[in-house]
């Protein structure tokens, strides 16, 4: 992929954050000096008298997407460009941010690396989740991090019957269940005691949330496997949450089928950074 040929850059910012707007303006000025077309949301474009575009219009037209904010903003943009196979660069504005890994100090060295063809691109596995009710498919979603089935605050423990490739695994009695990609291994799954997986692995993580049976532990299966979960709960307060941003009500006997998606997310990385450095910095390893 010849990065130096990319001439139309989309800038997406965390809504309402003044710091993100100012940084977006400065990046846009840097790009404009290099005769690169900038597509930015109104909060940035209005300060530079640029053409105004909606977030969806930017996603349809840009060659590279720059995301200023946290992982939540990154995930929302990743969904917008899911059919375009274009890379994203996540710029972290102070939160933990495993996806928005470029620091403020690294912005311009990373930009230089992009346009001199030295930047690294990661191809990240995604999951396809299909929701069935009475043997009819209700919806289909694609996620980068995870699919979470969980109960509401007042609901009782739920039973989640789980199978792998049509072979019964177990029925979790728990507050919920997380099915995650390697990228999502450092998100909710990690908080629930799941393992950290190197993002290039072809694997799916199944992590129970507060299981009633303590011997129910996280399990890692092949990325080529198909995970099916059936909710056995008469509580109305059960949700399937997709990448922590889309919540779908789940009824008793609903089936959720989860497998590797043919789509991928492409992430631009600083050429001098590696994943282990990211883990050390984000998780404060070695700091006593």
Q: How far apart are CA 264 and CA 127, in angstroms?
A: 9
- How many angstroms separate the Cα of 40 from the Cα of each of 57, 211, 224? 10, 45, 38
Out of 35, 63, 71, 85, the active site residue is 71
Q: Which two tokens stand for residue 242?
A: 């997709």
Distance between CA atoms of residues 30 and 203, nearest Å: 39
Query: CA dist 14 to 24, 40, 74, Å?
Result: 10, 12, 9
246 Cβ contact list (under 8 Å, min separation 6): 141
Q: Is 243 a catalytic residue?
A: no
In the beta sheet, which residues pair with residue 147?
A: 179, 242
**Residue 74, SS3?**
helix
CA angle 202, 206, 211 (to 5 degrees): 165
Active site residues: 71
């Amino acid at each position: 992929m010849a990065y130096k040929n990319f001439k139309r850059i989309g800038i997406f910012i965390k809504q309402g954050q003044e710091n993100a707007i100012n940084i977006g303006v400065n990046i846009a000025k840097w790009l404009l000096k290099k005769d690169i077309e900038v597509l930015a949301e109104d909060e940035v474009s209005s300060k530079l008298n640029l053409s105004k575009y909606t977030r969806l219009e930017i996603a349809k037209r840009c060659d590279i997407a720059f995301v200023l904010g946290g992982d939540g903003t990154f995930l929302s943009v990743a969904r917008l460009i899911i059919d375009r196979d274009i890379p994203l660069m996540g710029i972290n504005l102070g939160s933990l941010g495993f996806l928005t890994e470029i620091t403020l100090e690294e912005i311009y060295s990373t930009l230089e690396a992009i346009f001199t063809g030295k930047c690294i691109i990661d191809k990240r596995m995604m999951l396809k989740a299909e929701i069935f009710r009475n043997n009819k498919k209700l919806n289909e979603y694609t996620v980068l991090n995870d699919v979470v089935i969980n109960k509401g605050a007042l609901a009782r423990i739920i039973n989640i019957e789980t199978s792998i490739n049509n072979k019964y695994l177990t029925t979790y009695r728990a507050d919920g269940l997380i099915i995650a990609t390697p990228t999502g291994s450092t998100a909710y799954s990690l908080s629930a005691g799941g393992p950290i997986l190197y993002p290039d692995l072809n694997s799916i993580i199944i992590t129970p949330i507060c299981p009633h049976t303590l011997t129910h532990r996280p399990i890692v299966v092949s990325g080529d496997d198909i995970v099916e979960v059936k909710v056995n709960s008469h509580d109305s307060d059960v949700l399937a949450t997709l990448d922590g941003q889309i919540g779908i009500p789940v009824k008793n006997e609903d089936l959720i089928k989860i497998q590797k998606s043919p789509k991928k997310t492409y992430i631009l990385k600083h050429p001098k950074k590696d994943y282990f450095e990211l883990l050390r910095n984000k998780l404060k390893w070695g700091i006593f």
